[in-house]
Amino acid sequence: MIGSKAADQKRFAAGLLCALILAALLRGLFPAADPPTNPTSGIVWHDEGAWVHNARNKALFGAWSLDAWNPMYIAPVFTGLEYLSFRALGVGVRQARVVPEVMGLLSVLLLALGIRRIAGNGAGLIAAALLATNYPYVMWNRAALMEGPMIAFLVASWYCYVRAQRQAWWGLWAGAFALLGFFTKAAAAFYAAALGVDALMVLVL
């Protein structure tokens, strides 16, 4: 019985590793390539430079704000992550896209681990494979825009929420990641509100 469980864990780890490698290839190959011309992924491609504007200012000139365009006040978490990438790797389109690429990989990992806790190893691997190869999500992860990192923070929050079913203190991390998602892009407010309502229902019931 113990040996069978260990074998299942090894198979899950191997399958998850394959999904992550595939996800990394789809997100990382030709990182400076032009985006697809079809609109099905719903991305405003020309906004990449605009949303990394303040991070680039800080990395190149030492000041966040140099003009009237300051998206750092709308998306401070995204701006901070882009700045860290620019400081570590230099300023450029490849470096800007590293942030959503890495966040996309983390979301694949955490979704698989969360689904595994709910429905088992097989379901976790299926979830990892689907998110790793989902075309719109891959395209979002290849663009230096806020939506990919926002979703990654929400997936991290959901994973912590799943863990909180057995260990309540994980709920604090669920809330923290929900807030990070909100301060990455305000559209995450809907998720944060739902999480708060659920927490209130748990307290009441």
Q: Which amino acid is located at 132 in the chain?
A: A
Token pair, residue 136, equals 């719109």
Residues 6+ apart with CB under 8 A from 181: 150, 151, 153, 154, 157, 188, 191, 192
Task: Report how far residue 163's alpha carbon sits from residue 172's, in angstroms, rounded to the nearest whole number.
Answer: 11
What secondary structure letter does DSSP report for 47?
A: G
Task: Report how far residue 177's alpha carbon sits from residue 155's, in angstroms, rounded to the nearest whole number.
Answer: 9
What's the Cα-to-Cα distance from 52 to each of 43, 46, 105, 127, 187, rounded to whole Å? Answer: 16, 12, 20, 31, 18
What does pLDDT average to in each consecutive run of 10 residues of the chain (205 residues)? 75 94 95 75 71 95 93 94 96 95 97 94 95 92 93 96 90 93 92 87 83
The predicted model scores a pTM of: 0.90
